Every structure is written in structure tokens, then in C-alpha cells.
Amino acid sequence: MNKTVFANNPLNRTANLRNNIEWINSIKRDSNTKYLIFYNEKPLINPSIDHSKNSEIKLFSFEQLDKFIDRANYLVFLGQNGGKSLFAVDLSNIEKIKENTEIMEEAKFIDVRSIAPNLSSENTGILAQAKSMISWNNTYTFCSKCSGVKLEIKDAGYKKLCNSCKTEFFPRVDPVVIMLPIYKDKCLLGRQKIFPPRMYSALAGFLEPGETIEDAVKREINEESGLTALDVEYKFTQPWPFPFQLMIGCLANVKDDVLNLDQDEIEDAVWLSREDLNRIFVGKSPQRIWIPPAMAIAHQLIIHWMHN
């Protein structure tokens, strides 16, 4: 199993059934169908008070949400797992939901980034899809092609249609390349000014239109560090639902180790050996350097390089 947070979504998306309105309507009231609630882009979570157990997404049947579902902003069909269907429902327009003790019980609306480390891998995978879809539906509400007509939601939350100019809009994913430059037995980590003190991470940047992953990695490395990448090796990806990014993890061998940092983007960078990184992992870095936590793909890339 992939250990990367947000990468283990157990749902079969059954995308071919999303536009089948009769089928979608027929499963809504099925006793096996469950709903997860979002309020202001935060999912409703049953927090664990026992540290040995995971917190969990709180799920509801149609009957439990009956009086709210018709008033919901919208529903998104997420998919099926073991024959059971799952929907995300946005109830941001129903402020009283937070005062409804039958719904809330001990649960809380918690932002995905802060709760993810306390959830099972499968729960984070479901939230990667659900949170991105909720954010996309909230962001793309009016037609950007003609003069701002309100879009109609189609395909169980996966398509929007402008009934004026007939343009269709589909969920977007913003790709980001994230990479470790490698020279001989060392890798480069950099720090942005906005990072917490002494935290260093992989270099990263948005893929641009008309650009390959390889070209984006080479460009970002050169812009940020002045280094010249000789080759680019794709490793793995991580959905990052803030709001709908895809992190594309790569390694790149570089021609030499002479840095020319773009101080606007990278205020400092360090070449680190596997031994240096081992010291960082056990909290014994001489410079008190630390790296992002395990949920970050940068962390997983560093571990991957250390063990290969």
C-alpha cells in the first residue's frame, strides 16, 4: 500500500454512472448509501479521544439527513466501496446544522489539512476526492465564458453547464512539480521565507501550460537554485486537496553543485547527505534543520532517495 497521505482512495468512482440521473436518484435513499457532510469546506469528523485510535469521517444515512438533503447547496457522488455508495453533501447554507445535536453529537467540522494525520489512509483518500470536489463546486459557480450566468450542476456534481452559451466545465486539477536535485551523494533542500524557522524542503512549482513534467522540473530547479538538471526521474504523485492540486514527485541529477539562489523564492538551500538526513530524522541536526512531516510528499521523496 502507498503510504502517502491522500493517495489511498478505496472508492470505485463508477464515473460512467454519474450522468444516469435515474440511477443516482435510486441509490440516494438506499439503506447502504452514506453521506459525509461539509460545512465551509470542512468535513464533519468524529475526533478520537484515544490517541491509539484514528479519528473518522462521520457518515450518515439518507433518513438521518432527510430534512437537510433537499435544502443542501449540492450533492457530489463520490463512488462505491463494497457495493455501498458514498456522497458528499455541502450544508454550508444551513447554519443551524452546527446546533443540531442529533447530527453533531461529539463530531466537529475540522479542516482537512489539520485532521489528515489523525485519519486512516483510506479516509484521507476519500477526503482528497471529496474536498477537491466541494472546493471546485464552490469556486466555479458562474460562467466565465459568457456574461456570468449561473451554472447548472450536472453529472452528480462532476460537470457544470452554462445554459446560455452551452459551455461545459469539468473539475480541474492543478499539477505541481516537486523535486529533489541530486549531485553525487547529496540532495538539495531549500527554504522559502514563509517556512517556519529552520524548516527545509524539496523545491516545487506549478506546471505551466504547454510544458512537460520534465521541462517544468528543469525550469523550476534552474529558476530557484541556478542548477542545471541533466535528467528527471518521476517517482510518485500525491493528490493535495488545497484546493485541487496534484503533487508530482521527481528526482533530478544536476550538472554541478554551484548554487545561484533566487532570493525571492529561496532564501537558503543546503546540500545534505544520507547521513545528514538521518541526523535530521532523529532530531540531531547540527544546524537544527527539520523537514516537513510525513503527510507531505517532500518527506516521502526524501525517504525514498535515502533508501535507494
Please state the closest distance from residue 194 (CB atom) to Zn ion, in A. 37
Beta carbons of 205 and 176 less than 8 angstroms apart:
yes
Amino acid at 226: G
Closest separation in Å from C-beta 133 to Zn ion = 21
Closest separation between CB of residue 151 and Zn ion, Å? Answer: 8
CA distances 288 to 2, 199, 200, 282, Å, are: 30, 9, 10, 11
151 contributes a contact to Zn ion by CB under 5 A: no
Binding flag, residue 146, Zn ion (CB under 5 A): yes
Q: Are 91 and 73 in contact, with CB atoms under 8 Å apart?
A: yes
Residue 162 binds Zn ion (CB under 5 A):
yes
Site string for Zn ion, 96-135 (x = CB under 5 A): ----------------------------------------
As a whole number of angstroms, the distance between CA 265 and CA 148 comes to 36
Q: What angle do CA 297, 205, 122 make, to 5 degrees?
A: 30
Compose the 266-305 pattern: x for residues touching Zn ion by CB under 5 A, - for all others: ----------------------------------------
Distances from the Cα of 15 to the Cα of 79, 108, 159, 172, angstroms: 8, 30, 11, 16
Residue (of 176, 305, 302) closest to 247 by Cα position? 176
Count, residues in the chain? 308
Which contiguous run of DSSP H or E holds residue 191?
strand 186-191
Nearest approach, Cβ of 56 to Zn ion (angstroms)? Answer: 41
> Which one of the spans 18-26, 55-63, 141-149, 200-208 is the region binding Zn ion (CB under 5 A)?
141-149
Nearer to Zn ion, 144 or 212 (CB): 144
Tell me whether residue 15 or residue 165 sits nearer to Zn ion (CB atom). Answer: 165
Q: Residue 84 corresponds to which cell in the numbers above?
A: 455501498
Q: How far is the CB of 258 from Zn ion (least distance, A)?
A: 52
Q: Using CB under 5 A, which of 128, 143, 189, 202 touches Zn ion?
A: 143
Q: How far is the CB of 144 from Zn ion (least distance, A)?
A: 8
Is residue 259 within 8 A of residue 248, CB to CB? The reply is no
Nearer Cβ to Zn ion (167/192): 167
Q: Cell for 92?
A: 454550508
Cβ distance to Zn ion smaller for residue 153 or 259: 153
Between 165 and 230, CB nearer to Zn ion: 165
Q: Report if residue 165 touches Zn ion, rule: CB under 5 A.
A: yes
Q: Is 164 in the site for Zn ion (CB under 5 A)?
A: yes
CA distances, 99 to each of 43, 61, 108, 125, 171 (Å): 16, 19, 11, 29, 32
Binding site for Zn ion (CB under 5 A): 143, 145-146, 162, 164-165, 167
